[in-house]
Chains A and B, each alone.
Chain A
Amino acid sequence: MNNAPARHPNLIALYTIARREVMRILRIWAQTLVPPAITMTLYFLIFGSLIGSRIGDMGGYDYMDFIVPGLVMMSIIQNSYGNISSSFFGAKFGRHIEEMLVSPMPNWVILGGYVAGAVLRGVLVGIIVLVIAMLFTKVRIPHPLVTISTVLLGATIFSLAGFINAVYAKKFDDVAIVPTFILTPLTYLGGVFYSVTMLPDWAQAMTHANPVFYMVNAFRYGLLGSSDIPLAIAYALMIGFVIVLGALSLWLLKRGVGLRS
C-alpha cells in the first residue's frame, strides 16, 4: 500500500474543496447565478433608470452611475456569505463534513477551500451584475487594482462571516436569520443607494460603524474615482476584519465548535 502523501497534499486538498464548491455553484446555477442577475436588473431598471432619472445627481454623479458600485458590491457580499453558510451548514446537516474531519487535512485547508469557493461565487456574480450594469450605463474602471482588491477583500470578509454563522447554526433557520436581520440592513444602510453626506450627523456617525460602508466606498472609488471616506481607512478596516474573522474561524475549527462533540 502506498500511504505516502503527494508532494503538495494540502494544495491538492484545498483545490479539491474549492473545485467541489464551484461544481456545486454551477450544478445549481438556477439558485446561485440567475437570482442575483434578475434582482439587479430590476434594481437598475426601477431605481436607476425610472426613479433615478428624477433624482438627479448623487455625490456628483448621475444616480445610475452612483448606485452601480453599491449594487455590485451588495451582490458580492450576499452571494459569498450565502454560498459558504448554506454549503458548510449543508455539509454539517448531511454529515458529509465528517469526510473532511476524519481526513489528515489541517483546519486552514478546510477553511481556505470553502472561502475560495465562496469568493469565486461572489466574483462570478459580481461580473454578471457588472455586465448587466453595462446595459444601462457606461461603466469605466479608473482604478482596477482598487476594484479587484476591494472585491476580493469584501468577498473574503463575508465568506468568513458566513462560515462562522454556519459553524454555530443548528438548523437551516439559523442560516437565514443573520442575512435577513443583520446583513441586509447593513448593506442597505451602507451607502449603496445614497451618499453618506446626505445624512444628519448622528446617522453619519452610525454609518461609520458599518463595515459594508467602507467596502462600498472603496469599491466606488475603484469604479468612479471618488469616495466618502479615505481609502487607507477602508483598507485598514477590511484587512483587520479578514485577520480577526479568519483567526476566529480557525479557532472555532480547532476547538471543534459545532463540529466535534
Chain B
Amino acid sequence: MMAKAGGVVAGSRLYYQPPVPTSPPMPMSQIPALEIHDLRKVYAGGVEALKGISLDVQPGDFFALLGPNGAGKSTLIGIVSSLVNATSGSVKVFGTDISTDRETAMRQLGLVPQEVNFNFFEKPFDILCNYAGFYGIPRAEASRRAEQELRRAQLWEKAHATSRTLSGGMKRRLMIARAMMTQPQLLILDEPTAGVDIEIRRGMWRTLKEVNAAGTTVILTTHYLEEAESLCRNLAIIDGGRIIENGPMKALLAKLDVEGFLLDIEGELPASLPHVEGVDLRAADRFTLDLEMPRSMNLNSVFARLDGAGIRVRSMRTKTNRLEELFVRLTGNKEHAA
C-alpha cells in the first residue's frame, strides 16, 4: 500500500482528504483481500443466520454487500471483524486465516460499525490515540496521526470536546477517522452514511472513492442503493443467510430487461396519449410522462412517435434506481436493503 499524506481542501465538504500519491500504485496482490469459504453461523437460540456463505473480494475492489434486514450481513461483518464467533467455515484477510492468526489478520482490517461505539465520555483526540494504542502504535505517532485524521475529518476544532456533544454526522466521521488511524488495507463500512444529510453523505462518497483509489479495499453495506450503484464495482446480495447474487455491478444491472424514465414535456400533455408498440406510456401529471420500455428498445423511436403526436420532450430522468429494481426482484422484498 502507498504511504499516505494529505490535507484538507479549502472550502471542500470533504471530511477526509486522502493524500496525493507520491509514487505509482504498487501492483495488486493476487491474494484476495477477503476470502470467505462455506461460512455458517447458528446462534444459541437456534437461528441459522448464515447458511454456507462463500465469497471473494479482490484487493483494491470497492465492493457492496447488500441484503434486506435480517439477511445476515451484520453477522457476516461481525465474524470477519472477530466480534462474532463462526459456527464453521473459514475467513481469510489477505491470506491470513482469522481463526489461526487473528493478530495478523486484524492488523490489516479497519471497521466502521453501524452503531456508534466509542466512549461518549472521552474526547475525540483521546479516542483516536487510544484506538491506535490498541494496535501497538506508540503515543507520539498516534498523536500525530490523530491530529491529521481529525483535521481531514474537519473535526479538529472538536478534538478536545466531550464526544457525546458531537452531532450525528460528526460521530460518523469520527468513526471513519478512527478506522483510518491504523491505515487499514481492508476497510469495512456498515451503513456509514445512515442518518447523515445529503451534503455530508456526498462528501463521504468522494472520500471513500479516494481512499479506495489510494489502494484500500473497501466493503460497504448501505441502505441507499444509489450509493452502492455509484460507488461500487462489484456486489453481493445476501438473503436468508445465502448469497443469491454475486458479480460485477454492470453485469448484474444488465440483467434488468425493463427501464423506466420520467419525461418532462413542453406545455401540457394532450388528453389522449399516443400508442407506442411495446412501451407503457402514462401521464404522471399534466406535464410529465411516465414511460417503461424494454432495455433492447431504441429511445429514438419513442421520441419520434411522441414528436409526431406533438409532444416535445424538454428533459428526461431515470424513474427508478436500477439497483433498487434488481434488488427488489431478487429478494422479493419491497423494502430497501440494509
Contacts and interface: CB of A to CB of B under 8 A. Distances in A.
Given A6-B136, A260-B82, A102 B3 contact: no
B180 to A, nearest CB: 10
Nearest to A1: B1
Nearest to A16: B133
A6 B113 contact: no
A60 interface: no
Interface string A231-261: 0000000000000000000000000100011
Interface in B120-177: 120-121, 126, 130-131, 133-139
Contacts of B131: 99, 103
A27 B3 CA distance: 37
B265 to A, nearest CB: 53
A111 to B, nearest CB: 14
A13 to B, nearest CB: 5
Interface string A87-127: 00001001110111111111000000000000000000000
A261 B118 CA distance: 19
A5 B137 CA distance: 7
B43 A9 contact: no
Contacts of A100: 134
Contacts, number: 102
Contacts of A256: 85
B145 to A, nearest CB: 10
A260 B134 contact: no
B84 interface: yes
Contacts of A13: 133-136
B74 to A, nearest CB: 10
Nearest to B107: A104
A66 B106 CA distance: 53
A9 B136 contact: yes
Contacts of A5: 107, 135-136
Given A104-B102, A104-B103, A260-B84, A96 B119 contact: yes
B321 interface: no
B41 to A, nearest CB: 9
Contacts of B288: none
B221 to A, nearest CB: 16
Given A103-B106, A104-B107, A8 B136 contact: yes
Given A1-B4, A12-B137, A15-B133, A102 B183 contact: no
A99 B135 contact: no
A260 to B, nearest CB: 5
A232 B84 CA distance: 44
Q: Secondary structure of the B side of the interface? A: loop
Nearest to A106: B103
B239 to A, nearest CB: 21
Interface string B29-60: 00000000000000110000000000000000
B268 interface: no
B307 interface: no
B104 interface: yes
Contacts of B1: 1, 3
A95 B135 CA distance: 18
B84 A99 contact: no
A10 interface: yes
Interface residues of A, number: 33
Interface string A10-27: 101101110110010001
Contacts of A8: 136
A3 B107 contact: yes
B43 to A, nearest CB: 7
A3 B134 contact: no
A260 B185 CA distance: 24
A121 B185 CA distance: 38
B66 interface: no
Interface string B1-27: 111100000000000000000000000
B84 to A, nearest CB: 5
A2 interface: yes
Contacts of B120: 94
A261 B85 contact: yes
A12 B82 contact: no
A91 B121 CA distance: 11
A9 B119 CA distance: 22
B81 interface: yes
A16 B134 contact: yes
A204 B184 CA distance: 60
Contact of B83 (A12, A16, A260): A260
Of listed B44, B109, B113, B134, residue having the most chain A CB within 10 A: B134
Contacts of A91: 119
Nearest to B80: A102
Nearest to A24: B121
B135 A104 contact: yes
Top 8 A-B pairs, shortest CB-CB distance? A9-B136, A16-B133, A1-B1, A103-B134, A95-B117, A104-B103, A1-B183, A104-B106
Interface of A: 1-3, 5-6, 8-10, 12-13, 15-17, 19-20, 23, 27, 91, 94-96, 98-106, 256, 260-261
8 contacts: A3-B184, A9-B135, A12-B137, A13-B135, A17-B134, A94-B120, A101-B83, A104-B106
